Structure 1
Amino acid sequence: MQTRAIFCFKRLCFHLLLSCMIFFFGKVNSQTTIPCDDAFYLITSSTGGSVLQKLNHDRINNQVNAKTIDLSEPRRRITCLGYSVNDQLLYALDFDTYELLQIDGLGKIKNLGIPPNLDTRMQYFAGHVAAQGRTLVVIGRDPATQTDKIIFTIGLRAPYLASSQALISDLPVALTDLATHPFLGVVYCFDSKAKRFGTIVNGLVSTHRYPTVPEYITSLYLDRNGNLYGYGNLVGDSGAETHFAIDRQNGKMVALGLGIQGKDSDGCSCPYSLDFDMKIIPSEVLPCSEITIEYTFFNQTGANWQDLVFRDSLPAGITITAIEKNSANLSTVQGGIGSSLFRLINMNLILESNTIRLKAWVDELPPGKYSAQAVLKNLPKLYGNPLVSDNLLTAEPRDSAFFTVIEPKSLKLNSKLRFSCNGDTAFVEAPLEALSYQWSDGSTGKTLVTTRSGRYSLLAKTACLDYTDTIEIAQRPPALNLEIEAPARLESGDRSILRYTSNAQGVGTLTWSASTGLNLSCSDCAQPELNALSSGSLYLTLRNAQGCAVRDSVQIEVIPVRKVFIPNVFSPNSDQHNDVFFIQGRDGGQILRWRIKDRWGNVVFEKKDVAINDAAQGWDGMVRGQALSAGTFFYEVEVEFPDGEKQRFRGEVKLVR
């Protein structure tokens, strides 16, 4: 008995020890993934090793905030950094040993060995992970000529084989980094020899469309909006310490601030996203009617995807009648027309927008809410595998699309009544799609059109029900009216808030306009401010929610004031008070000629065609760079007022020191 107890105790201890070992080594070997959150990752390296930073661009203040991630092997010189959407980890090469490295979110480095077939006689500076996350693409440089010669594509699954293709360029290039645009799929690069940006397509480097820049860029990365950023130097041909925002159209750069200094750097980001929306319209239907189901894919992953599987199983009683649009037209359709199942296999998803649109028939279903949600499979886990559709018509994330089958009695003709703009004609539209319409006046169209008051009824027949309702058309709406509320007379330069009155039920748009000399603060607001400089007409056009328009106008008489203020003393002593002698006026205007003389008749200041109230055009008491002594000076000025009237003024001004 004692022996058995000892055996059980030992077995318990063994299992506890084994569990602890599994837990411990599981923790040791686990990796922390890196979220695809539009952040940038930057490696700066020197002879002493490398530093990894996570960068976030503060777009409000237009600056970059950095957080250092401690590397488990900081002595390595790391190059060709890239982000993989497959496992959400960073990949890179060791510049000195050519080993393929895997880096997790805590900076832990895993050595994957030297990729078979990688040419270790080359040097590698530029690289990135391709948009589908399956390969690390690196550019091989001949150390003797310092010219890039070859492209290696390294698989990111064991045995990490490297395959090669020639790098093609009209001129010798030395690329520093690569970055893929999320929705164009274009690979951008920087050539350190020509100091130009460029693009790479199928191994062909093209830099001719970009001008030479004084800056030197060692790292490139993009955000989810397709904006290009870089890290490098303001001047010179080496080193990295400055963050840049880059115009990818013309290569012009704006410095965003300084970072960690390094002999070299490499950067990457995850600017990718994939949205999958679904909507069903109309949202309310009767039994035995048609709906439209639309799926939209916004592919901003930088790559086209193949061999995907799409599936949507519609509620029982919903039958697909037509495939109106299918951007993935090379896919194989399973189910489809005549079925409630729509499935695509071997589906291709191209960059940017992809749409599938179905027509479906709603059978004689009981009233209630019916929902569906589609799925997309065989994507990297980052995007969701499966990725489920999101209802485009709601604010809730990743919710099902739905429609509601309603009872016929909930549809009322009263809600469909409208009148012509002059009020003499009534229009009543049937609130449902039907096979036939029979109005009590004998008309058989979907919309009743009548100029007579009275009671009207409708019988509409669908495939499975008869709809009836009655409407009384009695009181006609009054004619649309509008009146501008504005003062009839103002002094030149006066300001006034304009208003209007109208019997419009629901205003669609307002459009204000005015003659020259009547200046409005806005043209489409309810209460613009008027700045009256000369007489003229004021106009307002109102268009109601139904689209009917009405117009009003008023005449505004503006009484010219023509007043100016010319100081008789000024003190140019740099105390920010009365330092400049200039002409002022409430109404503005133009100074045609202005001359100032000293007591002996010498001209000390002269200006032509300058604006009233512009202190920058005034006299600061200087002549030819020399400050004049205190004294009395004499001016002659000719002013043209806003209404075209011209006046001359003469007088004296004292300069006080």
Structure 2
Amino acid sequence: MVPNCRKYMALVVLLCVSVYISAQVAFQCKGQYYASLSPSLHGPSNLYEVKIDPASNLAIFDPIKINVGKNVNAIGYRSVDNLIYGVDPDEFFLYKLDSNGDIFFLKQLPLTNGLEYFAGDISPDGRFLILIGGGGFTGLDSEIVKVDLNSPNFDITRVNVQVNTRIFDIAFDPEDGTLFGLDSNAKRLVKINPDTGNMDLSFPQQPTVNSIGALFFDTFGNLFAYGGVVNQANQDKLFEINKSNGSVAVLTNGPIAQGNDGCSCPYTIKLEKTVLPKETFPCELVEYTFTIANSSGSARQGINLIDVLPGGFDFVDVLRNPYGGDSSLSGGSLVSITGLNVFPGKDSIIISVYIDDIQEGIYKNQAQLVNLPLELGSYTQSDNPATFIKEDSTDIKVLDLSLEFIAEEYLKCEGEDLIIDATIPGAIILWNGEETDPVKIITGPGTYTLEARNNCEIIIKTITVTEEYISVSAFQAEYDIMLGEYLDFNIDIVTNSNTSSILWNDPKGNSSFSCIDCEEPNLRPLFDAIYSATVTSEAGCIDVVDINVHVDKQRDIFAPNIFSPNGDGSNDIFYLTGTEFVTVNEFNIFDRWGNLVYSTISKELGESNEGWSGDYNGYPVNPGVYVWYAEVEWLDGHIENIAGDVTLLR
């Protein structure tokens, strides 16, 4: 009973499908990107068209239908009937969706239980829906399944995946049919052979990528993805992937899209428009290039290229046209090339355009390919490939010839060259009516004539160059001093500059300059050093003078070996003497049993009133030999520990 019931139910479903199929509304294949998002893990999907908002440059999801009624993943665009196909990754139901987002059940596929099928795309010929089945979000890919969409029973064939990957979406390159995926385990692009299960894993890892839920190509063979980056749980980034080297770059942000899948219809005809140069002057010729990509699978005849140029732009000639047809050379702003035979692949039409004597500014416009087949959208507008906004205008900047960026007066330093770069792209530059190199090297003072011209006008500017000189010398270039002495430096400055600045350099950083920006600073050098003064003129001319200082460091300490504290005024105090600018950090005296009888700290060397008078606790000590120890420190920070003995007599 159960098998008969299942057959009966299948018959009912098929009958229902036969009723609904007649109401399907096909998409028009115009290079759009589509996304299927499931707000909950196993819940019904929403269908969107992915666009770029020209105002914010952010990715946006334009709803086609919220809640299509089923969970649809592994989606792909079929160019044969212009419908989107996909499967429920858990129940294995095969569906197709139309341009209204209406869903149609086709069959429950005999896929492998325990696997989930998130990655999918349709082969360029429209015959096979390719699926990759794996162990959920953390397991590895197990098999590649080919669903024959031409078969009435949607027959499947399967091969085992030969490598360790986890791929959540795949996309066919419209240029050569190569199947690409992004391995979320190794975080790298892979090429997939759906017939053998082998994969090319030679692309480098992309450590900034976290996971990719959607892959899709445009008509020109550019690969894009939607997903997330490392250290971020959300999938809210639109990426561009270089299919040659595998590098991944973030293009823009967009809505959070957990549980997303994507596809595109690159099997159409699209147009890109560029111009060179991108900046020019009036009364010049420029070249516009119209690159046509035909990924529709067949040659298309009778296509027309129409471009209405901005006012003041005149169509002159067709420089290159591999597609044939007829050109209208009216000499005005209308570009019309009709009857093009647009063969599969990519190629370009190049035209020359003359720009009249118009005002400076940015001029934008778009071209169109018209008379396309209805299923390809009837027409397409040109895209500026310099931006990631689709079907946007191509712009050119018309400049005003000007020499405002060149000054009328220059100051240069004696003995140095002055370089003036008067380069204006597209303009002819003359110096003194002869020299055509726009970069002028000026070696001396004088008056120079600069001329800029294009096909519309001539501008002449007179430039005056004056020369500054500066010389600095020291009244005394070398000094020999004792440690602790002060010096007065004195320099002489000769210049024709109105102003000059001085900066003294202390190489040791501890000479206590009284000023570092004056001609006669006072300082106390502690070490041998070469001091320098840098003098700078108004024009930035520089001269430097050096002064060499040698510091003599005598480190003599004297201590008597006998003293007699008997109050006769002679040798009554025991203290240390020596060179100037020495501090006695510590001075201790001990008797022969090691008892401390005297101690003092931080005293200037040679101060007799701070020495030992032969007393201990106010009482005279016995005659004898006493041992002393001292730590002394010179002005430059040098420290010595010294010791000795002294005989006390009464």
TM-score range, shorter chain: 0.3 to 0.5
Report the TM-score when normalising by structure 2. 0.45
Rg larger in structure = 2
